[in-house]
Structure 1
Amino acid sequence: MATATDAALPDNCEVHRGALLHFLDDPGNDPEPIPGSVEFLEDGLLVVHDGKVLLTGPAEEWLPRLPDGVPVSHWQDGLIVPGFIDTHVHMPQLGVMASYGAQLLDWLETYTFPHEARFSDGDWAQAEAQRFTDLLLSHGTTSGLVFCTSHPESVQALFEAAEQRGMGLTAGKVMMDRHAPDDLTDTAQGSYDDSLSLLKTWHNRGRQRYAITPRFAATSSPEQLSLAGRLAGEYPDVLVQTHWAENTGEIQWIRELFPERASYLDVYDHYGLLGDHTVLAHGIHIDDADRALLAQRGSRIAFCPTSNTFLGSGLFDFREARAAGVMVGLASDVGGGTSLSMLATMAEAYKVCRLRGQTLTPWQAFYLATLGNARVLHQAQHTGNFEAGRYADFVVLDQAGSPQLAMKRPYTRSPFEALFNLMMLGDDRAIQATAVAGQVHHQRSDKAPALSSHQSTQYAQGA
């Protein structure tokens, strides 16, 4: 349990009360979590000061110790969890989400590329970035790793929107100098120069971080990949994000484009793009040698279940990746993915695992969407749980937020079952409120918390 010392609490702290759950470590993937990995308080307090977590603890213990007059937001019947984190999502693809009838390469040509071309218009980019960040918050997502387009305007717009909301996003300009329409391609040197300029402007500016972003090996020349690797070597604390081994046609195309390389993964390794700051989206059609190289390099996979099933790409092998020591995150992959909701993403991940003869417990699913994804993105020192000093990013989940959830609630006997209900039946209606750095930025109008001004003498008398 994360607690403060016995020193007096500051008068200007903010307090949120309700059922509270977060993870202190990976709980494993069995019905019983590893001891010490989960903290659940049936009636807990989350105390926030200057946008960061000061302490968590039982309400009974900490209410009498609050300074008089401190406001307490009581989220009655709500479950407070850390803000969700998305390890792979495309800001410019909202408009192509759920577009009919194509596999990956056709889908890019038919839907994605034409839509992304609009982001050369700065006004359009700003409007879409505002829409995107608001939608993330309405789905309970407070930070993530984001693809923009090949236009620097798209990156600028996204970081500005995130900064206005206090969110911590990691994002980058797509590097793409071949096999794409002219209004989307850049040049090898131009992509390096643009990326470096954006990196110097935004990386570690407040909560924003930059990511070096070649789209995937097919749309980057060897020269561009080499310069992307050079940039990664020059700035080793910057994330690298790209796509990998999503579709069998894509893999064959890479084989033809890079016949001198031993494998698709070897392409990235050769150009200096594998390391412990690399996040590879998908990784479906891979083998033990790939997993061994990933584990050796410390590179991570973003598991994107809704896009993998929607585009018919395949079923990710979650168990084998974990067994090989590969760190795995969970991701929506909108717009190939069909929902920004990490709850819906958990549900689809569970189904993918079941189709592979595996399972995904709600402990593991919620861990992945919070602390696990924070670890994937090297931000666990700032977000992912409620340990003291982390940003107070949190979501209040309404366990009766839809008719189906309300129907199931009387039959729910444990936190395990409550989480499973939310991950299988939940959507944006289950998001009662979303807070970033202690500030509520999204709230259902019909689910406001009960507000009170704490008086320690009243509490001591049983009020």
Structure 2
Amino acid sequence: MTGKRLILGQVLEFSGDPAREGSGAARHRRRGAVLVADGHIVAVDEADILRAAHPEAAVTDHGDHLILPGFIDAHAHYPQTAIIASWGKRLIDWLNSYTFPEEMRFGDPDYATRVAARYFDLVLSHGTTTVASYCTIHPESVEAFFAKAQARGLRMLAGKTCMDRDTAPEGLRDTAQSAYDDSKALLDRWHGVDRLSYIVTPRFSPTSTRGQLDALGTLWAEHPDCLMQTHLSEQTDEIAWMHSLYPEARDYLDTYEAHGLLGENGLYGHAIHLTPREIDRLAEVGAALVHCPTSNTFIGSGLFDMSLRARMRVGLATDTGGGSSFSMLRTMAAAYEIAQLRGTALHPSELIWLATGASAEALKLGDRIGRLAPGYEADMIALDLASTPAIAQAAARAEDIWQAIFPTIMMGDDRAIIQTYIAGQPVKPD
């Protein structure tokens, strides 16, 4: 084996979900190391042991910085990069005022390419190494995202967003047939190529006709190894809108279920205002929910119920640009605050797991990314636990690793990301 690299620092390994197994699911090595080669993790152990066993390996020593898996953002909209933190009222107003006008620009491949490059610079600088992104109705937006991701060797997932109902603006409508044809062509071109995955992507049922949802359900059935992503029960007025368009539906989930868009490989973003039937069906089929806390507070959607983790997979996401930050640290902080408002105090180990292993499991990639373990892809970060004076003085009082990490979760930003590694190689932009 050639090209070995030893990355030294404090190391945090997870054997499973601390929400189920307790904080003992995480192991902290005060002076640990990760051995990587050929883009994968070969071993994780004490630094002295691995240095003695592999004297030929190149060494990068991060001192007291914490080595973690790269963060995984399970729901984002890269075409909304330029409109993040735009003032708005409620979801539908925000979409019409900012999102839809910006997304109309992505039929221009040069513009899509520029935004994709900027987006990857931003997320890598924040320590995010994998994203599941919505694109726009334009195939050019998907091509730009995947081409830029491929050139950087990234593990990324995305799909063409499909909308054919006249509730979407004229410049952002496809048809049931073109949604199927375009999505299939993009899937055939990109799914499984290098580290890329295609996701079947109806935006949400209020912007798709029954015929389009049927077409996308057919495509998903033809490619069951793909994920399917959409939005579900984000706001109460959105739910009322859905019922006006689908009066026959028992609930929001039924608009997907009736058209073949409910399954184990389904990713349902937000999922705040779920009925008991929806919860039961999602759990029965083994679907995943994606919690988008900064978006839910920014747009005033509501408070996600973290107790749903007991029944199904739950990932964590920025939902940029509805979310107000590219940072998964800020997203963890918002998840903590929302859980507090619902009477649950999430332990720091649970927050780190949500942004790494739990999001990997939601994306059905839990056997490849999201953990520091032999055989996993070597997407990692080095995290400074004293990146600002305020964080440093709080961390200095820590009596264990969790007290040391928590100030960075609550107050950290891109300054805390010392280095981002993709397949074992340092890539953080200056």
Q: Same fold (TM over 0.5)?
A: yes
1:20 maps to what in 2?
A: 11
Check conservation: 2:8, 2:32, Cα contact below 8 A: yes
After superposition, what is the alpha-carbon deviation per residue over 1:206-253, rounded to whole angstroms, capped at 9, x for unaligned?
100000000000000000000110011000010000011001111001
CA distance in 2, matches of 1:418, 1:225: 48
2:288 maps to what in 1?
A: 300
| Counterpart check, 1:45 vs 2:33 | yes
Percent identity between the aligned chains? 44
Q: 1:244 aligns with which of 226, 232, 245?
A: 232
Change (3 A) 1:29 1:430: farther
Amino acid at match of 2:7: H
Amino acid at match of 1:258: Y
TM-score scaled to structure 1, two decimals? 0.91
Partner SS, residue 171 of structure 2: coil
Partner SS, residue 374 of structure 1: helix
1:459 maps to what in 2?
A: none
CA-CA distance at 1:168 after TM superposition: 0.8
1:55 maps to what in 2?
A: 43
Unpaired runs of 5+ residues, structure 1, are: 1-9, 445-463
Amino acid at match of 1:96: I
CA-CA distance at 1:60 after TM superposition: 2.2
Q: 2:382 aligns with which of 396, 400, 407?
A: 396
CA distance in 2, matches of 1:107, 1:92: 15
CA distance in 1, matches of 2:106, 2:422: 27
Check conservation: 1:217, 1:225, Cα contact below 8 A: yes
Check conservation: 2:124, 2:429, Cα contact below 8 A: no
2:118 maps to what in 1?
A: 131
Unpaired runs of 5+ residues, structure 2, are: none
Asked which structure has the greater CA Rg, the reply is 1
1:349 maps to what in 2?
A: 335
| Counterpart check, 1:381 vs 2:372 | no
Amino acid at match of 1:64: A
CA distance in 1, matches of 2:316, 2:50: 34
Check conservation: 1:291, 1:326, Cα contact below 8 A: no
| Counterpart check, 1:91 vs 2:78 | yes
Partner SS, residue 86 of structure 1: strand
CA distance in 2, matches of 1:435, 1:45: 14
CA RMSD of aligned residues (A): 1.2
CA-CA distance at 1:419 after TM superposition: 2.1
CA-CA distance at 1:29 after TM superposition: 6.7
Runs of 4+ aligned residues of structure 1 deviating over 3 Å after TM superposition are: none
Q: How does 1:103-252 map to 2 (within 5 A)?
A: 103-178=90-165, 179-252=167-240
Check conservation: 2:73, 2:128, Cα contact below 8 A: yes
Check conservation: 2:126, 2:414, Cα contact below 8 A: yes
Check conservation: 2:74, 2:359, Cα contact below 8 A: yes
Check conservation: 1:29, 1:363, Cα contact below 8 A: no
CA-CA distance at 1:290 after TM superposition: 1.3
Partner SS, residue 301 of structure 1: strand
CA distance in 2, matches of 1:241, 1:102: 25
Partner SS, residue 117 of structure 2: helix
CA-CA distance at 1:24 after TM superposition: 1.6
Amino acid at match of 2:209: S
Check conservation: 2:290, 2:316, Cα contact below 8 A: yes
2:306 maps to what in 1?
A: 318
CA distance in 1, matches of 2:288, 2:150: 26
Partner SS, residue 332 of structure 1: coil
CA distance in 1, matches of 2:347, 2:270: 20
1:273 maps to what in 2?
A: 261
1:7 maps to what in 2?
A: none
CA distance in 1, matches of 2:221, 2:364: 17
Check conservation: 1:83, 1:434, Cα contact below 8 A: yes
TM-score scaled to structure 2, two decimals? 0.98
Between the two proteins, the alignment pairs up a number of residues equal to 429
Amino acid at match of 2:178: G
CA distance in 2, matches of 1:400, 1:386: 22
CA distance in 2, matches of 1:291, 1:417: 34
